[in-house]
Amino acid sequence: MTDRNQELFARAQLSIPAGVNSPVRAFRAVGGTPPFFERASGANLWDANGKRYVDYVGSWGPMVAGHCHPAVVEAVREAASRALSFGAPTEAEIELAEAIRRHVPSIELLRLVSSGTEATMTAIRLARGHTGRSAIVKFEGCYHGHADSLLVKAGSGALTFGNPSSAGVPAETAQHTIVLDYNDTAQAQALFAARGAQIAGVIVEPVAGNMNLVLPEPGFLHALRELCSRHGAVLIFDEVMTGFRVAIGGAQAHFGIEPDLTTLGKVIGGGLPVGAVGGRRAIMERIAPLGPVYQAGTLSGNPVAVAAGLATLRLVEQPGFQDRVAAATRALTGGLADAAREAGVPFSAQSIGSMFGIYFRATAPASFAEVMQSDRERFGRFFHAMLARGVYLAPSAYEAGFVSAAHGAAEIDATLAAARASFRELA
């Protein structure tokens, strides 16, 4: 039988670098040929061979209601029938902004953009424009998009400025970013004691999702809030993944912390390209045309993306929605841990809201260094064993997973049956 995935992958590589339009899709971390998907519905995907998979990637987060939810599809169809783009204001933009503000009290004003990367890039610029300072603090393993200032790895010491982690990022740009260890409160305190007057802002994933799922340790986020307040720096929560997934008000609502700026994406577009940056009025009024911090975008607030986002948020805010998806996620991670234990495979799993992490190490990691101790080779074997059994996980040991409202008992049970067989292969 002809493998259409292999055919398409070979064809794609003739026109597209590595055959993919985002690096993780190339399967370089796990090997093999990526499936090329043709359709999706609920919790399931179908590839070019017609094979069905239970999906735990969810387009990297936005499909919290499941793929092709009828209400979202109808909203997109209706909006597209009126216009694909205006490049001008619409009432729907106001409605989406009002819905976000209603659920995220720290956001007094917000600007819609077209992606999470654009949102974080704008947040960094706002922090610098508001404070008149240059230094930005980020954390090892946290990814905030591919803007130059944020593609930075740690310098030679904990309190030094960073180095570029990508070719094409000038050293003079990277030198304004300081990279610390996630969950290391003492390190952050030492940095602010030494250089607090230079720091424009701190950007952090309140729950890390780009080095696999890493939860903040008690007191870590509160310490960042206190340090930024004391030293006049801007605290930025990157909630592109966690917004409307960890809780209806995001991770900030879950942990009871108000950042100065918040970046959003994923869910607020319902799967279509949209993002937002919002926060305290005094900072957001720095953005053009009210202030000197410039940001613009023809497709910002695109009517079709806004329609998808509004329809998704209306589903997410229904009573009990968050609790049901969180319960399904806990059932998944608990069942995976049990299956691994029965097979004698070193493994751990955890979740928060509808996000989850799986790790081939005895305990869940609390830092980038601990994530790197996971058994990547064993993860790769598990990934392919699950893929062969119709379960689609993120093709990297360093990515969080996502459960949707469409994942019911049947999908969870099928996943755990596949996992038990897969773990036995690894034992």
Catalytic residues: 143, 238, 266
Q: State which H helix or E strand residue 221 sits in.
A: helix 220-231
- Write the CB contacts of 264 (distance below 8 Å, at least 6 apart in sequence): 100, 104, 116, 119, 239, 240, 243, 250, 275, 276, 277, 278
8 Å CB contact between 141 and 211: yes
Q: Is 409 exposed, middle or buried (0-12, 13-18, 19+ CB in 10 A)?
A: exposed
* DSSP helix, strand, coil percent of the chain (3-state; round to 5): 40, 15, 40
Longest alpha-carbon distance in the chain: 65
| Distance from C-alpha of 346 to C-alpha of 384, rounded to nearest angstrom | 18
Count the Cβ atoms, other than its own, within 10 Å of residue 335.
18
CA-based nearest residue to 336, from 345, 324, 327: 345
- Residue among 108, 60, 94, 80 at smallest CA distance from 301: 94
Spatial contact of 327 and 351, defined as CB atoms under 8 Å apart = no
Q: Are 422 and 389 spatial neighbours (Cβ–Cβ below 8 Å)?
A: yes
Q: Cα(258)–Cα(351) distance, rounded to whole angstroms?
A: 22
Question: How far is the first Cα of the chain from the last one, in angstroms, to the nearest whole number?
Answer: 31
> How far is C-alpha 417 from the chain's CA centre?
28
